[in-house]
Amino acid sequence: METVERWGMLEVSVNGPTEGNPFTEQSFFGTFTSKNEKVRATGFYDGEGVYKVRFMPSFEGEYTYETEGSFEGAAATGSFTVTAPNVDNHGPMRVVNQFHFAYEDTTPYYSVGTTCYAWAHQPESIRQQTLQELDQGYFNKMRFCVFPKHYIHNFRDPESFPYEGTPVDNSGLCEENFSYHVGFEGNRWDFTRFNPEHFRRVERCIVELMERGIEADIIVMHPYDRWGFSAMTPEQDDLYWNYIVARFSAYRNVWWSLANEYDLLRNKKLEDWERYARILCEKDPYNHLRGIHNCMAFYDHSRPWITHCSLQRQDLYRHVEYTDEYRTRWGKPIVWDEISYEGNIDMGWGNISGQELTRRFWEASLRGGYAGHGETFIDEENDILWWSHGGLLHGESPARIRFLHKILCETPGYGLKCGQGSFDETVGVPDGAGFLSFGGGASYEIHYYGFGRPSFRDFYKSPEDKWKVEIIDTWEMTVTDAGVHSGKFRIKLPCKEYMAVRLTKVD
């Protein structure tokens, strides 16, 4: 009998008609049943007469399935056994402790993301470079697009297109004549016929991320478009959304990002986004995380279908420092998916230093939120920028982000929360918010000094308690033992930026 691991993926295929338009004229479903669950999943047409339905089991044990559909031969039955998950398989992502994440098996997940919008559409040599970089373990979430991307540094055609047809000629495109808002003349697409190969490319990326313990934050729609994929009719959109959900839902590492910069999709209205969300809520049997990312105006993240706040900074100077305020406002996890990229392009959103990006990661994380990386270094020879294509990393922040993740994983419980701070009550006023103080409970605190460069800090603790003190150099990635202390004590620091002090209560 076939076996599949818990939170693995079972795929059932049948052969069916090729005539007419199988994408719109045929339907296919599978019902998967065990002692603990019964899931009816929508199938999809994968081209060349093959119809598929996919299932992710949430329980171990014996399952049966039966398929049905609009065509002769759609009906099939079978059974399979769900085994214990592999040691690296922790299941899909869930919200925990209101503001944080854990895999379904309760393993805490501290998100440190990156973005390679169009990596799925690149030639294989570049994709392999991307995977080699991801093998370094810098990141555990990747944002990327299903549709190809049209933008500065992104004028090459993708390796495949999502629809049958032919694209507008791109031979004259260059930065000099780039326009953000274009018409879509010259394209010839049949928006009722998908190109399954395009979606198989995306799925391969999802699986490659899964194999590396990386969540796939799938951007379903975006505005960087010269082909008209951002300007389809509601019927065409819904066909696409249903196809996406049918194909991708059974991969455990999927997060749904309804859009990148939803507010720049000038053809879409609020009612459209809400309709897509409804499709997700109805059709995704596994309730993967759902978010929607802004350019200028935040979506109202209090809407019930939104599981976490996917944010781009609204201000150049203060952004991740609002994490605690936004937690209060929306009562959901805060994920900063765009806070400027390490690099040196002309645009302000893509030329900050590795130090500054790392600082933003620490600020976001210690305030009980999560941050995302991107990299935009000019590549005059090949014009390959990580933020869009993947490829090779050039910056200094990835290693520091990995170090931060290691520190975050040492948090007791699920997620950091705002601590009491540590200031001298006799002084009576805080010291100009010169430090961040967040803890994992009454016995764990991290004090982060950001761009401050203190030569020492004083701590005021009960004389009864003993605290193990460590000095964390977040840039040099070192943790230095500073002894065990009680009562009021002074910790000397090296007058450098980006230092933190960690206190852990000991017996």
The residue ranges that bind its own copies (CB under 8 A) are: 178-181, 264, 295-296, 315-318, 321, 340, 343-349, 351-353, 356, 378, 426-429, 431-435, 449-458, 495, 497
Q: Residue 151 gets which letter from DSSP? A: B
Q: Are 262 and 269 in contact (CB under 8 A)?
A: no
Residue (54 or 367) nearer to its own copies, CB: 367
Q: Are 307 and 290 in contact (CB under 8 A)?
A: yes
Residue (84 or 433) nearer to its own copies, CB: 433
First to last CA, the chain: 53
Rounded to whole angstroms, how far apart are CA atoms 164 and 235?
A: 17
Q: Least separation, in Å, of the C-beta of 392 and its own copies?
A: 18
Q: Least separation, in Å, of the C-beta of 453 and its own copies?
A: 5
Residue (67 or 340) nearer to its own copies, CB: 340
Q: Least separation, in Å, of the C-beta of 153 and its own copies?
A: 13
Residue (25 or 431) nearer to its own copies, CB: 431
Amino acid code (one letter) for 162 = P
Rounded to whole angstroms, how far apart are CA atoms 122 and 384?
A: 10
Residue (285 or 391) nearer to its own copies, CB: 391
Query: Locate tokens 């339907």: which residue?
Result: 27
Q: Are 205 and 120 in contact (CB under 8 A)?
A: yes
Q: Where are the alpha helices (DSSP H) in 18-74?
A: 22-25
Q: Least separation, in Å, of the C-beta of 14 and its own copies?
A: 48
How many CA within 13 A on the CB side of residue 190?
Answer: 9
Q: Least separation, in Å, of the C-beta of 144 and its own copies?
A: 21
Q: Where are the alpha helices (DSSP H) in 302-374?
A: 323-330, 354-366
> Phi/psi at 17 (nearest 5 deg)?
-70, 150
Q: Least separation, in Å, of the C-beta of 129 and its own copies?
A: 22
Q: Least separation, in Å, of the C-beta of 434 and its own copies?
A: 2
Q: Residue 266 gets which letter from DSSP? A: T
Q: Least separation, in Å, of the C-beta of 340 and its own copies?
A: 8
Residue (204 or 453) nearer to its own copies, CB: 453
**Which whole-number Å values give the CA distances from 288 to 198, 247, 284, 285, in the listed order?**
22, 13, 7, 8
Residue (216 or 491) nearer to its own copies, CB: 491
Rounded to whole angstroms, how far apart are CA atoms 102 and 326?
A: 20
Residue (95 or 378) nearer to its own copies, CB: 378
